[in-house]
Amino acid sequence: MSETQVDTSKRTWLIASGCAGAVGTVCTAVPFVESFEPSEKAKAAGAAVEADISGLKPGEKMTVAWRGKPVWIVRRTPEELAGLSKNDPELADPKSERHQDEFTPVYARNEWRSIKPEILVLVGICTHLGCSPSDRFTPGPQPSLPEDWRGGWLCPCHGSTFDLAGRVFKNKPAPDNLEVPPYMFLSDSKLLIGQDKKA
């Protein structure tokens, strides 16, 4: 066997080994690099959620999940809206001035705490210890509620009460009003929860 044939055989073997090594490196590196990307589950957890409110009647509430939290969408009646200002003297933060950037976006810093008066959007988690308050929409005296109750929510864990704008009543364990999440209207019947600016 001549020296040239041996060199050619070695060269072929080295090229083949190098190619196999490169393929192996790529096959190993791709999953490793992809592991730094957020998973589909993680992307979904922070992704905005669409809600169709076309079937939501006055006085009704629907719940959607966003970032693992319940988000309430309530279509308030004219009577419920009219009663909101009557609660002001009894509320801890009637104008939602405390922790505005955390709990109340600019477009919800009004008497209704919403973009459109009749549609309320709130994160359904008490600002005290994270329980989910129960609906108490029916006005009038009820157990654990004041005699002049105008509707809202009662937290079953420690008794905090919130009106139909998600504002907490005075002398309750919850320190703040319920959170208004980022949201926007895509149409009259569709909301996008979790995003409030057009991409």
Which of 4-8, 10-14, 110-114, 156-160 is predicted least confidently?
Answer: 4-8
Total-model pTM:
0.76
Among the listed residues 121, 115, 113, the one whose alpha carbon sits nearest the alpha carbon of residue 167 = 113
Q: Domain of 135?
A: 44-193
What is the pLDDT averaged over residues 141-157?
Answer: 92
Q: Is residue 198 part of a domain?
A: no
Compute, in degrees rounded to 10, the torsion defined by CA atoms 179, 184, 186, 187. Answer: 80
Q: How many CB atoms lie within 10 A of CB 149?
A: 20
Range from 19-23, 63-67, 102-106 carrying the lowest mean pLDDT: 19-23
pLDDT band at 5 (very low <50, low <70, confident <90, very high): low
- Name the pLDDT band for 130 (thresholds 50, 70, 90): confident
User: What is the CATH classification number for the domain harbouring 122?
Assistant: 2.102.10.10
Residue with the bigger pLDDT between 31 and 110: it is 110
Active site residue 99: no
Please report, rounded to a whole number, the percentage of residues in the chain having pLDDT higher than 90: 66
- Mean pLDDT for 154-159 is 93
Q: What is the pLDDT of residue 146?
A: 86
Catalytic choice (86, 116, 158, 170): 158
Domain count, the chain: 1
pLDDT at residue 24, as a whole number: 60
Q: Is residue 4 part of a domain?
A: no
**pLDDT exceeds cutoff 50 at 43:** no
* Interatomic CA distance for residues 55 and 72, integer angstroms: 15
- 148 part of a folded domain: yes
- C-alpha 177/C-alpha 94 separation (Å) is 9
Does 8 fall in a domain?
A: no
In a domain, 22, yes or no: no
